[in-house]
Amino acid sequence: MYDQGSFLLNPSVENFILSRQDSIFMSENKIDIEEELLKEIEEYYENHEPSQEELEFIKEWEKRTKHVCKPCWELKYCPYGPLVEKFPLLGPTKQEAIEHNEFLKEQLKKGEYDGWRKETFEEQVKNFNPDEYPEKHTQEEIEKSCSIFGHQCPVFFVNEPLTETVERRRISRHIPRETMLRVVRRDNYTCQICGKHVKDDEIEFDHIIPISKGGSTEENNLQVTCFECNRKKGSELPENIINDKE
């Protein structure tokens, strides 16, 4: 299956869409252009056999779009602003859902609602099933949520591997030697976690925002650590990033 983003970026698909737009616009009947185009795309999608070049393109695109990092972790501010509130909230846990359902029962009993609100909440209480809710949220789900508003970060819905510069984000674990030297000099041969002085043959490089959480192999995301601290930290995010509310 194609990823939607890679599928629509494919030049042959773009040409196909443009050709179909022309024929649709020339039609005398009033039709839903968007709906017709989607149908045409789905048909093309199902019948098209991708070339080797297209498969390689899709593989590279998926690799880069899956490497997602919350911008607030790197930039220290949210570039989305009020747009965050247009994205879904993290749903309630099982216990939270039960408590809310009990609250609705109590309010309905008191006659606090009328009209369509009463009908809606009565239906909601009637069909409530606590097993549809998770016992608790995973750490990954919590990390994907905005630490201020609680909404799911837009980056996980609209992420693209493109930047405003010619240079791409470094998503490889390989650290160029020049970068290593700059980081060591900057950190003065000192573990940035425990403060211990480390010798040349003891130096370890840690990704502050782990690769597994979208961190890049850039100088500003690397720090010198000792062996013990690097192993202890693993793929965890630093507390100052998780708890940064400013």
Question: DSSP secondary structure string, 49-60?
Answer: ---HHHHHHHHH
Please enumerate in sequence order all residues whose Cβ is within 8 A of that of 93, keeping only pairs 6 or more positions apart, or say none: 133, 134, 135, 136, 137
Q: Which two tokens stand for residue 43?
A: 């048909």
Quick: pLDDT tens for 153-162.
888 887 665 5
Quick: pLDDT tens for 130-182.
999 999 998 888 888 887 888 888 888 876 655 555 666 677 788 999 999 99
Burial class from Cβ neighbours inside 10 Å (0-12, 13-18, 19+) for residue 14 reads: exposed
Q: Where are the domains of the chain?
A: 4-65, 94-132, 177-242
For residues 161 and 86, the answer to whether their CB atoms sit within 8 Å is no
> What is the rounded average pLDDT of the residues 6-34?
56
Q: Which two tokens stand for residue 41?
A: 């795309």
| Amino acid symbol at 62 | E
> What is the rounded average pLDDT of the residues 62-79?
77
- Residue ranges of alpha helices (H) inside the chain are 4-9, 11-25, 33-47, 52-65, 71-75, 94-109, 115-126, 139-144, 155-158, 177-187, 227-233, 239-242
| Domain 177-242 belongs in CATH node 3.90.1150.10 | no
**CA distance readout (Å), 85 to 48, 145, 150, 241, 243:** 38, 11, 9, 21, 20
